[in-house]
Structure 1
């Protein structure tokens, strides 16, 4: 609609510097970790690696989505989001408006860019956030959201990802649950892939 387009243009105007510079304050380990067999980027973040309050993570999320779009091969227009909620600290996530703001961006500037949102191991203490946010999520988006255990999430990803990538994600999920693995050790996993590094059948590699 005209009003939605106007809102998108206003948002772009307010965020022009972010969209062009790709500069942000690191708030988490959010990055593109690979591509599924159809060439769709997968964005992953784990709550254990959250560094700032959730209200300060939107800039990083916007930049990572822009980068994911730039990596998409011809014919691909959507991405999968993986929110691993293991290790979630409530003090950093008391503001449900931060999630609603992200969803607003997903439904606005990045409309039609979501393939799936896989939410992994939501802790019981975070149920109030789900209950506060879910009524505001549009029905078309709800159909793309999956609340799964870590085991079931990996089984779900097996349907769309190559075995090597599924194994890589499984190892990543396991390290993020290892109490002996320090933040600095986990940081070694935070490198974002480059499109040239990822085997992609749509690109003839």
Structure 2
């Protein structure tokens, strides 16, 4: 008898797993800062591995509408759109930051990014959580699971709006529209190819470039203009 799970069950398990990983740092708080960072990094990577395993184990029974209707399903498009998406996502981020700054007068810096960089400077191991574990989990949760659960009721576009809004809120950064439009762009990448790997490549690549750029600025002692 097949033990494969339905899309609904896989999506709910994935979201639950993400919740457990998201709050996992609290489990390590009684210990030293190094143990907190190491433990958090481990849970992020483990969470990503488990989500990938769940996906491959159930990909024949847990198929989303996006994956059924996608046209550009060739691995060539997955790679092409994934890697080009890295730079497009960064451009989107810069444009939305600029518009938001012009309207609100807020600083164009991201407190979420600065906090992450501070942790990486304290323990470089954490870079694995921010550039690999975190983005992979977020794509499985906010793109595949949330859109997969809601699309049949709302249609893709509204489902993408819901998932992108939650994606922005979870970052607790104060730059709602920056994360919203990045999340929406990742959802479009997923829709175009029907492969979650497309948005994963773009998301992981973007996070990696942002972290590298911030570390270069730090070690070069370069301060961005206010």
TM-score, normalised to structure 2, is 0.28
**Larger relative CO (CA 8 A, sep 6+): 1 or 2?**
2
- Greater gyration radius: 2
Task: Determine which structure has the larger strand proportion and give its number.
Answer: 1
TM-score, normalised to structure 1, is 0.30
